[in-house]
Structure formats: C-alpha cells, structure tokens
Structure 1
Amino acid sequence: MFDRLSSLVAALTLIAVAAIFAALAGGDALTIVILALAGIVGAAAVYTALPAQLPEPQAPSPVEAPLFSLLRHPDFALWVDQEQEPLIGVDGTIVTIANDAAVRLLGRHIVGADVRTAIRHPAATEWLARIGGEAPLETLNLVDFPRPGQRWTMRVAALSGDDRIIFLSDRTAIDAADRMRSDFVANASHELRTPLAAILGYVETLQDMDGEADGPMRHRFLSIIEREAGRMQQLVIDLLSISRVEADRFRRPTASVDLAAIVRNTIAQLQDSEAARPKDIVARFGTEKQPMLGDEAQLGQLVHNIVSNAMKYGRAGTPVTVELAREGQRIRLSVSDEGDGIAPDHLPRLTERFYRVDEARSRSVGGTGLGLAIVKHISERHQGLLDIESALGKGTRVSVAFPLADGA
C-alpha cells in the first residue's frame, strides 16, 4: 500500500515520462504543457484523496482467563469437611465456606457474614482487620475463647487473589496438661519438703542436746523422724507408681487374671499388716473365679488403695465392706465405709493428684493425696468405670466395674 507522498512521486514521474515521450514524438509545446498540467492536477487529486499514513496493523489482544478460586472448587469443600479442626475460607473479609467443625464452634450464620463479626473476640477483630494487608499475620492466641477458661490459636494462609483460609486450633487441653505438670512438680516438691523439714529439725535438736536428753524424749523424737521418713518413702513409692501406670496407659493388659483372688489376697495382706482397723474389713463375695484381662500387680494396688482409704477415713468400729458382683459382662468391685462422708462439690476432684478434702486429717492419717489418682489411672488402663458416691454423715462408696474376659 502507498502513502500520500509515494503516490505523488509516482504521479509526477509518470507525467515527466509522458512529456518526454510527447516531445520525442514531435508534439508541439502547447500539447506538452497541457499534458503536464493535466498530470499535475491528477496527481494533486490523488494526493488529496489518499490518507496521510495508513494505520499499522494491530495484533489481536489476548483474552484474559478468569481468576480461578480454590474456595469454590467442589473438591476443596469435600476436603474441608473432613478436617477435624475449624477451617474458614474468606474472600476479602466475607466468609465463603466453613467446615462442619467451624459451624459447630461459631454457628451456621457465619457463612456469608463478615469474618470480623463471625469470630467475636477483641484480639481477633484487630487481627482480622489486617487480613488483606501485605505484611504476613502472625499466629494469634485467643484467650477465653469461645468460653472462659479455653484457649484457641488462629492463623491465616493466603491463596490467589483475595482468598484466604483461616485455621483455628484448640489449645485448651494442651494448656491444661502444662498446668497439671507444673502443679504436679510444685505439689510433689511441697509434699517432700514438709516431712524433710521435720526430719532435719528433730535431728538438729537431738544433736544440740549432746546426750542431755532423757530416754523418753529421745525416743519420741526418733519416732517422729521415723514417721516422717515413712511419709516420704510412701510418697516416693506413689510417685513412682503413678509414673509407671501413666507410661503403660496405652498398653492394654493381655494376661488373664482372677479379680476375686486378687481382692482376697489384698485383704489378707491388710489384715496381717499393722494397718489400723484390720478386723473391720468385711468381704462379701463368693469363691467363684472372676476372670478378666489385667495386670495383677496394678489391680492389687488399686484394691489396696481403695480399701486403705476406707479404713483411714471410716469411723473406728464400723465395717469396711468389700463386695464383688457381676453386672452383665462386667464385674463390679465396691468398697464402702461408714465415715463422715464427702460434700458433693468435692467429689469431681477426688481423683486429682494431691487433692485433699481435709488436708489436716489426711496428713494425720498418713495420706499422700495420690491414692485415688492411681486408682483412676489403673481403672482407665483396664477399661474400668470408676464411680464415687458419698453422703455426709453416712459414708462413702467407691466402685470400679471391669469388663470380664470373653466367655466368663
């Protein structure tokens, strides 16, 4: 294609060529002039008609592909609902998807709502306000969320465009375990320090006397030292016991044992020992075997702890009743005393380590505060159901129902 300048040059060249041929052919001057003028007029007309410059050809513009949203993919929704912890998908600040765990935690109304109102927590509101910014958001701790005493963490993962995924994780149980470990160390240190201080104090007193003390006083001091040392020894034994039981809690026992024989042997050991009130134990079960899968040593300790507690806290001269009774495919061990009983608000905490209803009385009878905690852990390992019933002024009944061996 020619532009205007190229066309003009071509037209003038043709005029010049035509004039030269006319002159060579012998034409007169007037004819040559007229022919030249006509050519110039024609060239001017062509020059005016043509555009100044033809437009450059344009390449076709590519069609932009629509932005893909992972949050709206059906496979993503299928995966989200299989996750155990709450997941929330947001477009900008609007919740577009929430899995079943998130719906149970926050409510079904959160889908389609602003995420800053869906997660109602003062720290979350400020954190979520920065969700669309360039700076990455750090993991956030939500204390007392969604209820007092609970703690959750929240973090976000960025997808394409304005899509985000918010992850919520429940840290309540982990925090409780951490507190339990700290309390356990603190309580164990306190329980060991108390008898140790008494032992050291009386030993120093005996040393300062330089043989001046009479026989009865020296004997009294040595008896106190012996008693406190015994408390420390029992505490160490119980600490080791609960540690071993916790280490075995995920290993189910596989040995076949006779629960009736274990209970019978434990009662005989208590009656032959120097424990208080050995004659108050009343056994009410027959001679038939009660087979189950269990750890004989741990079951013996469980029976010993329950019966010993009943002997310590029941009133002297009243029976400590030990029973074995079948209940379908379970065998229930029950130990009842006729003591002062326990107030209802204390019952849920009796299996906590070092928890005591009456600390002064517990120390006077030699309790370590770990007996029922050990019973609880041994029961759980043997798939037993522990139950504690008590009435003020009437007494307490502790029972554990164990599954019998198949075919028993």
Structure 2
Amino acid sequence: MNQDWRGALIRHLLLLILAAALLGAVTGQYGWALAACLGFYLGWTLWQVLRLHKWLKNHRDDEPPPDGYGLWGEVFDSIYHLQRRNERARGRLQAVIDRMQESTAALRDAVVMLDADGNLEWWNIAAERLLGLRSPQDGGQPVTNLIRHPRFKEYFAHGNYQEPLDLPSPVNDKQLLQFQITLYGNGEHLMLARDVTRVHLLEQMRKDFVANVSHELRTPLTVIAGYLETLLDNVENINPRWNRALQQMQQQASRMKTLLNDLLLLAKLEATDYPADNKPVAVDLMLLAIRNDAQALSGTNEHRISLEADPKVRLKGSEAELRSAFSNLVFNAVKYTPAGGEIRIRWWGDEQGAHLSVQDSGIGIDPKHLPRLTERFYRVDSSRNASTGGTGLGLAIVKHVLIRHRGTLDISSVLGKGSSFVCHFPPQQMA
C-alpha cells in the first residue's frame, strides 16, 4: 500500500470516529454510535468488494472498472491504469507478431514450428508450396506423417541436427530441398526448408565437368607415360643429358596419373549416397594388410607401427572404399612422421558404434588448419605436399567415404607432438 492509500485510510478512520462521536453526543449512546458507524463502513466496503467482483467476472476487455470514491476510487483507478498499460503492451506484442507473420509469409523458404513431439503447430505460406502442408487440417499432425521419406524420419528421430539434410520435395520429385532443424524452448523444433535445386544442378555440373575432364586426360597421359617408359628402357641409346629430364617427366606423369585417379574416385563417391556393394567387412584383416603396406612404405625410416583391432567388430559397407579411406589415414601418418616415430592404429566398438583411431608422433598441424583439412587441394604447407608427392585429395576422399558409410571424422593435433584422426561409425552401420 503506497502513501496515498495510507493517507486515504487514515482520513476515513478519522471521519468515522468523528461521525460516531457526533452521533453519540446526540443520542448519548457512544458505544452504539461507534458500532453503528463501523457497521455502516463495513457494509459500504463489502458493497465495493461485490462491485469489483462483479466487474472482474463479467467485464469485457475494453470495459473500464466501475467508479468509486475514496480508497476504493483509488483502487479502481489503479486497476484502470493497469488495464490501459496491459492493452498498450498487448498492442505492441500483437504488432510484433503481425510483423513476424508478414515477414515469414514473404519468405521463399518454408518455416515450420513443431512441438516437442514433432507435431505441427504453425507454418508459413512457403511451407504449403514446398512441402504440401494444408491449413488447417494438417495442424497437430506429426511431421513424419507428412514428410515420409525414410532419410527424413531417421534424421528427425536421431536428434542430431548439426548438419542439414537434402531431400526431394514431397510435392515435386525434381525439386531438391535442404532441411535444417533447430531446437528451442522446451524441446520445440523450428524447421527450415530451402529450395537448393539450382545449387544442386550447378554442383552436379561441376562434378560432371571434373569427371569428364579427368577421364579425357587419362588417354593422352597414358600415351605420354608409355613413351617415357619406352625411352627410359632404352636409355643407353639416348644422349645422357636427357636422362634426368626423362626421369623427372616420368615422375610428374606418374603423379598426374595418381591425381586423375583420385579425382575419378571422388567423382564416383559423389555419384551416389550409399555404396552399392554393401556387405560385412572384416576390418581387422584389412587393417593388418594396411599396416604391412605402411611398414613397407616406411622403409629405412623404421617407424614403429602398432595395430590393435577387435576381430568381432565388423562394418557394413564397401571394402574397397573403406580400404582407400583407412589406408589414406595410415599412409599420411607415415609420410608426416619423422624417422623412428611411432604410429598407433586401433579399431574397437562400444555402445556408440565402431571407431578407428590413427595416432602419430609426427610434426603436427596448426589448429587453425584443422577445419579445412578435408577440403580438396587444401595445403597446410605447399612444400610438404611437394616433398611427399601427395595430391591434396586424400582427406577429401576419406570424408566422402565416411559420409557414404554414415561416419564422421574427428581431427586433433598439436604442433611438434603429433596428430590423431578418429573415424566414428554409428551402431546401425555395424554388421
């Protein structure tokens, strides 16, 4: 109660005592006079309470509270001012909501709000065009009942929305949509769907161009490499001054051939989402063969290469693709680890799935380069690539093989102490 209310209450009590005293002086019954005045005041107060109760129960949103006098007048005035403030705040909030609805309605991307159970709560006009949602009959329906693609159901149920999902539109198979889900509030979902058909077509054109150019270059390169090999086989009939030039030409031709093979392999990996030759793979035996090849590659550097592989853990997928990815990781560790260094290969499984770890005690990588290591032709140091003869596509191939097998790659490294590459495969990918 503020100061004005206390003042009004004191004035009312003083007036009540004065009226009781006057009535008592007239009648000579001071006690009865005080009781009568208190009863009258109590009745008046009860009447005001009943008026307030009736207004609170039956009033319309824009109906002001009843008029009052004294203390109750201030109460009614305070309720009126509170009512006006609430109306202004509600008006501002409604204006914000209207602007948000207008802006989302103008978006070309579909915006869908889902509750914690994945049921539709609200969507914009673009969602009706891109996803085929209908208002109001689809309200409250599970989103997986309306977008029935198996990959979307798996994506939504998995709960890991860090990466977007590309799928054909439920309305038009020729239209490609990119879905991105964000969690907010108490587990509610905000789903965005964007038309990426044009981007996909441009990306496909790029892939086709790289694949076609790589394929067309193989024939002339094979011819050049064949003639160089013939010349080097008959080196005694050639001027000695050409020996070094021919050897370097053969080395560069071999390197270019490796590059073209990697480009063609990448094009093949990008052509489909999942390997056709999907079957259980004995990863422990594959790693044993890779370890032996790595030991041979080490040669005089005498790296200490250890292998720990659980033979009970098998993986569903393409053996050729997995061999390419795993050998890339192991051979990179050999290339970038100084002589006498240690390389540890480990293959194991647990409740999170299957895992491959390749750790080395090599030169390490600056942390600023780690996010871009799997990009094509990305160079941490161009001189390192020249000295090791790499194509710059090894980790890109690893990334695409893992994507096709629903796997992920974690990279950690410390300069001067070595690097760690860990592949994770979900339980459903295990045989």
Q: Normalized against structure 1, the TM-score is what?
A: 0.49
Higher helix share: 2
Question: Rg larger in 1 or in 2?
Answer: 1
Q: Normalized against structure 2, the TM-score is what?
A: 0.47
